[in-house]
Amino acid sequence: MKFTVRKAVEGDIQGICFILKQALECHHALLPDIFSDSDIRYSPDELDEMLDDSGAPIFVAVNENHEVVGYAICFVDNTRGHHLKPLQLFYIDGLCVREDSRRQGISSALLAHCKNYAQRIKCDHLIIKVYDANAAAKAFYETNGMKVFRQAYTYDLTKEREAA
């Protein structure tokens, strides 16, 4: 499949929402106690607002029919604090490819585009958060040179409440 990676435009929102729904279904299947089975991460209105925000770029991969087949929703954050070095961080808040378009290099192209963009705007680190249950995503990012730098642990208190 031929595809192009570019900055998202308003006409891409419907395609992004379609893939956001697929991502939600995947996350709900992996972690049903955390993820809803109905509400996508960003509404069309929120995505539309983000399109005008240079600090929150959205990139899309589009096929030869101009259909969105993948997205990377990003934001830039500057760390400031007494114990932290001042850094400009580039976060990928979500990177996903449409189910019928996977295994064709689209994720790798989106990640490379994000890396290049982050370097151009002088970011110090590129960060993406991945749930431990998402083994495929973890393997993908590690294969692409990313490393774990922080882990979060959780304890499910609802089970104790239900047992009481």
Domain span holding position 95: 3-163
- pLDDT tens digit sequence for 19-62: 999 888 777 777 777 777 777 788 889 999 999 877 889 999 99
Strand ranges (DSSP E) for the chain? Answer: 3-7, 58-63, 68-79, 87-97, 125-128
The CATH code of the domain that includes 93 is 3.40.630.30
Q: How far apart are CA 111 and CA 3, in angstroms?
A: 14
Distance CA 65, CA 78 (A): 38
Coil, strand or helix: which one is 164? coil
Give the pLDDT of residue 54: 76
- Please say whether the beta carbons of 110 and 59 come within 8 A: yes
3-state secondary structure 118-131: HHHCCCCEEEECCC
CA distance 122 to 120: 5
Domain tally for the chain? 1
Strand partners, 4: 62
Angle, CA of 17, 19 and 25, to the nearest 5°: 105
pTM: 0.87
Determine the pLDDT at residue 52: 86
pLDDT score, position 42: 83
Position 164 scores a pLDDT of: 65
Cβ-contact 140, 96 below 8 angstroms:
no
Question: Rounded to whole angstroms, how far apart are CA atoms 75 and 77?
Answer: 7
Flag residues of the chain having pLDDT under 70: 80-82, 84, 164
Supply the pLDDT for residue 40. Answer: 78
Q: What are phi and psi of 146, to 5 degrees?
A: -85, 155
